[in-house]
Structure 1
Amino acid sequence: MTPDTAPRREIAVIVPVHNAAAFLPDCLDALAAQRFDDFCCILVDDGSTDASGELCDEAARSDGRFIALHQAQSGVSAARAAGVRRARAEGAIWLAFCDADDRYHPDFLRTLHTAAREAAVPLACCRYDTFTDPPPAESPAPSDYRVLRAPEHLEALLHDHAVDYGLWNKLYAAGLLTEAMLDNDLAYNEDLLANWQAFLRAPGCAFCDFAGYHYRQHADSASHRALPPQSIDDQRRAATLIRSSVPDRWPQLQESANAFYYEKLVYLASMILRRSDADAYRVHLGELSIGITAGLKDPQLGRNPRLPFAIRVAAWATVHTPKLWRRVCRTFLKDRQ
């Protein structure tokens, strides 16, 4: 049966896979256990050199809901875009994403799908939690939800950790996301920018207050990786693009986006200062310091009423007491050192 003649699927779950053989079986088991029948799972093997490709093929052979695609290594964004293209060929009405080392709650698809349809919005999301091993105990999924109407849902995307930047704790109407949004020339914060653009197109978001997505922490997970210079450039670029694309009809959202941008500068400077090899990032730190210094007295940046007090203090310390602030960062900010 070809994609053109296959039955339409209500939801397509897209899983980019690259050298994830150690965790992929657990991810696939959680997907197979979904208490929602009308979905397909598109596994996009992105040039894996371990057993991931074989695991994808085996899943497709043993369960008709799974589809295996293989491509030369092109990165997670290109893999997601390829998955979306196949989802459209499958006639999917909704899109969801899962990383190959993570797990869905068994009611993830059912709960978000019900909330989005009942609220008549093209977008739903839930909280996530983190785990190592074993997976966390599953709490019951809620029967209710809260609707974040525009621009509240955009505010939440920027500032509410429960909504978060990730693509993986959300359900999207298929027409809300385009392949160009996903493959946006960023290697870091690519999901934040894609979400911002999708949220701009949505009149609101249904928020389901439960940990529907389980994010695995391990040595190769994003929160434990080194800090490549491209990460600093991409994160700053994403924040700049967000700040420059707020619709004129939402001046309060512009204030919020300005605060988000300035907070990102301060955060990235702290990421550098906490490292033992901070001198290797002196060009990036210099550029960030110029931006932080220029914004200290700016009512849209350093004196923005939406800016948290702790960020104001950190910005001041970055500019006026850099040696002391570096010592503080090295002592108290332990991740990615």
Structure 2
Amino acid sequence: MISIIIPVYNVKLYLDNCIQSVIQQSYTDFECILVDDGSTDGSSEICDQWAEKDNRIIIVHQPNGGVSSARNKGLEQAKGEYICFIDSDDWVDVDYLSAMINNLKEKETDLIICGLTQEFKDGNCIDYIPQQSLNFELGCNHTNYFVMLNEQNLLYGPIVKLYKNNIIQHHQILFDPQVSYGEDLLFNYQYLEYAHTIACINESHYHYRILGSGTLSSKFRPKQFDTDYQQWKILQSFYQRHHLWSSTAQTYLYKRLWGILYDGIFLYPRLQNKKISYLRTILAIPEIKKLKDFTQCFSCSNWIKQSILYRLYPIFYIYFSIIAKR
């Protein structure tokens, strides 16, 4: 049986569509756990109404504690052999579960990943799909496959995946309620510590609704650099410990680090307390020495790259001071 966990918080406009797509699945051996996280817009009542219609739907009402708390509550209630997460403003195709469970019948694996389709309000969509269907073991011989999943952003959230519940329960893997940004990535990499095999399906059966601009930059996070950099080090450590530290992996990770540095520096004008020590701290990280080998991986003005490589934080301070006076 598959336990589908759906955290619910004030999604009245989209919740019916999400639940309808679940109960219409061609694969029927599942329980659907709706965790109402203190909704105030009528979503709670919608959950209760669906529970009356289908006995596979289980409702948990709790005070608002955030999406991580809701997902953890779902894991606590889950009785299935496998775990699947769906966001309450998204929807899935009728063959979403069967596409993943059928892969298990072919070859036992610890984690199954399929593609997703981003759905924008204007009707446009973007597909993120594994390049090919395959099963592989984590290790040096398959680094390229693992990097591919990261590059396509398919390892950063809990959606479009089928997890083994016994791995989660045995190792007490949970979402951290204290982390509000990047908690999904931390959960996945905790799980990957105990996963030996991964299966990819080069199909998209999950529709990810983009309600805002679709960019992380639309939300101001004053400590974004600290969070991104700490999580980058977690990824680096994982790659190195699991014998994935190939040239392909390093190119991917150092390109990512270039982006983290760039975003952190250009966050400076939006900070309330603008201090030059903020820029100095960013450019003090030891990995900048290694970035010199990957200058072609990231696109930005050459003066920015040179200022980063030579840790010329006063250049950025002067630049932002001039911009502010315009």
TM-score above 0.5: yes
Aligned residues: 305
2:72 is aligned, of 81, 86, 91, to 81
Question: Take 1:71 and 1:221, find their aligned partners in 2: how far apart are those partners?
Answer: 29
Q: Letter of the 1:72 partner, please give it.
A: P
Q: Does 1:42 find its partner at 2:30? A: no
Contact 1:124 1:172 in 2 (8 A): yes
Alignment partners' CA distance in 2, 1:276 and 1:202: 39
Task: Report what 1:160 is aligned to.
Answer: 151
Overall identity of the aligned pairs, in %: 24
Which residue of structure 1 lines up, in the alignment, with residue 323 of structure 2? none
- The answer to whether the Cα contact below 8 Å between 2:135 and 2:200 also exists between their aligned partners in 1 is yes
TM-aligned CA deviation for residue 97 of structure 1: 0.3
Partner SS state of residue 167, structure 2:
coil
Aligned residue in 2 for 1:216: 209
Corresponding residue number in structure 2 for 1:329 = none
Distance in 1, matches of 2:35 and 2:173, equals: 18
Aligned pairs for 1:143-154 within 5 A: 145-151=133-139, 152=142
TM, length-normalised to structure 2: 0.79
**Cα offset for 1:105?**
2.0
Gap runs ≥5 in structure 2: 321-326
* Counterpart Cα distance in 2 of 1:39 and 1:285: 51
The aligned residue for residue 283 of structure 2 is 289
Moved more, 50-59 or 220-229: 220-229
**1:182 aligns to what SS in structure 2?**
coil
C-alpha root-mean-square deviation of aligned residues, in Å? 3.6
For residue 198 of structure 2, the aligned residue among 178, 194, 205 is 205
The DSSP-based 3-state class of the residue aligned with 1:67 is strand
CA distance in 2 between counterparts of 1:132 and 1:255 reads 32
Deviation at 1:271, TM superposition (A): 3.1
In the aligned structure 2, how far is the partner of 1:148 from the partner of 1:295?
30
**Matching of residue 132 in structure 1 with residue 120 in structure 2:** yes
For 1:293-332, list aligned pairs within 5 A.
294-298=286-290, 302-303=291-292, 309-310=297-298, 315-316=305-306, 318=308, 319=311, 322=316
TM-score (norm 1): 0.76
Q: Distance in 2 between matches of 1:238 and 1:247?
A: 14
Q: Which residue pairs with 2:108 in the alignment?
A: 120
The one of 26, 31, 45 equivalent to 1:54 is 45
The residue number in structure 2 matching 1:100 is: 88
3-state secondary structure, aligned to 2:20: helix
CA distance in 2 between counterparts of 1:23 and 1:215 reads 12
Is the 2:36–2:60 Cα contact (8 Å) retained in structure 1?
yes
Q: What letter corresponds to residue 183 of structure 1 in structure 2?
A: F
Moved more, 168-177 or 231-240: 231-240
Unaligned 5+ runs, structure 1: 1-9, 327-337
Could you tell me which residue of structure 2 aligns to residue 256 of structure 1?
A: 249
Partner of 1:331: none
Instruction: Pick one of 152, 157, 173 that aligns with 1:181.
Output: 173
Once residues 198 and 304 of structure 1 are traced to their aligned partners in structure 2, the CA distance between those partners, rounded to angstroms, is 31
